[in-house]
Amino acid sequence: MKIAVSSDLHLDLNHADVAEIITQQAHYLTSHGIDHYFFVGDAFNNFEQTSAYFAELQSQLPTTKVHYLAGNHDMLKGVTYEQLENLDDDLYFHNQFIDIPQTNWRIIGNNGWYDYSFSTYKSNVKEVAQWKRAYWVDRSIMQSMNDPERMAIVLHQVEEALEQAHNQQKQVIFMTHFAPIREALPHPLIESVRRQRMWEMTTAMLGSRHLGALLAKFPEVKAVFYGHLHYAQPLITVGNIEYRNQAVGVRRKNSEDWKGESLLDQWISRLYTKKI
C-alpha cells in the first residue's frame, strides 16, 4: 500500500484554478499508484469549500482514497465547532483512524488545536486570548471554551486513540494540523521588546508541547505528520518518532521558500509518499 501526505495548500490564498488543480492532482495521484492520500489541514478559508474540494477530488480518483483534516483556516467560515466534532463525511478523519489493509499500520487523525504552551505567556491565558481577538486570524472561530480547554479535549481524544492502538498492538502514524513539538518552531532573531512580545503571542497559537509529550509516551507511534507552519523543517526526529511537515504554503512575492514554478509543482515537491 502506498500513502501520500500533504497540507496547507491554501487554494484561495494561492489564487488557484480549483477545477484545474483537482484534475491535475487526481492524475498525479492515480499515475503514481497512491492508495491513500492524506491532507492535514488548510485547503481554504471556508470549510464548505474545503469539503466540496475533497468530495470533487475523490470523485475523480478511481483507486485512491482521500482523507482530510481541518486546519484553522478551514475553520474560519462555514462550520461550527460542534460540526467539526461530529461531521458526517467519510473523507473527514478527525478523531478517527484508518487501518491500512494487509499491514499492521494504523493512521490516527485529529485536527488538533493550541494551548499557548510554546509561549512564555502560557500562564497568561486572558492576555493571550485578548491579543488573539485583536490580531490573530482565528478570532472569527467561535467556540464555547477557551483555547487550553479545547486543547485538553484534543489530548483526551488522542490518548484514548493511542491506548486503543496499544491494546490492539498496532503501529501508529499520527496526523494533525498544529505543531506538536517545540523543535518544529522557527527561532527568529528579534531585537525589540515589542516584536519579541508579538512573536511570543504568535507562538502561543502554533500548537501544543503537551501533544508531543503525549505521543512520546507511546512506543507504537513511529511517525507524526503536521502542517500549520509553512517552510518548517521537513523532518525532525525526537526520540524514536519522526515528525514531518509537508506544508505547501502561500506563494509570496520574492519568497525564496517557494520552490515550485506553479502551485502544482510546489504541491508535488512537498508531497510525502511512502510504501507501507
- Following DSSP, what letter does each residue of 125-176 receive, concatenated? HHHHHHHHHHH-GGGG---SS-HHHHHHHHHHHHHHHHHHHHHTT-EEEEE-
Residue 190, C-beta contacts closer than 8 angstroms, at least 6 positions apart = 196, 199
Looking at per-residue pLDDT, the higher value among 257 and 24 belongs to: 24
Full-model pTM? 0.96
- At residue 218, does pLDDT exceed 80? yes
Q: What is the pLDDT of residues 249-261, one digit of tens each?
A: 999 877 777 888 8
Q: What are phi and psi of 159, to 5 degrees?
A: -60, -40
DSSP-assigned beta bridge partners for residue 244: 225, 235
Q: Which fold has domain 2-275?
A: Purple Acid Phosphatase; chain A, domain 2 (3.60.21)
Q: What is the pLDDT of residues 69-84, one digit of tens each?
A: 999 999 999 999 999 9
Q: Please give the average per-residue pLDDT across 24-32, as a whole number.
A: 99
- Residue whose entry in the numeric block shows the C-alpha cell 489493509: 101
Q: What is the pLDDT of residues 132-178, one digit of tens each?
A: 999 999 999 999 999 999 999 999 999 999 999 999 999 999 999 99
Average of per-residue pLDDT values in the chain:
96
pLDDT band at 93 (very low <50, low <70, confident <90, very high): very high
Q: Per-domain residue ranges for the chain?
A: 2-275
What pLDDT, on the 0 to 100 scale, is given for residue 161? 99
pLDDT band at 193 (very low <50, low <70, confident <90, very high): confident
Look up residue 96 and give its DSSP letter.
E
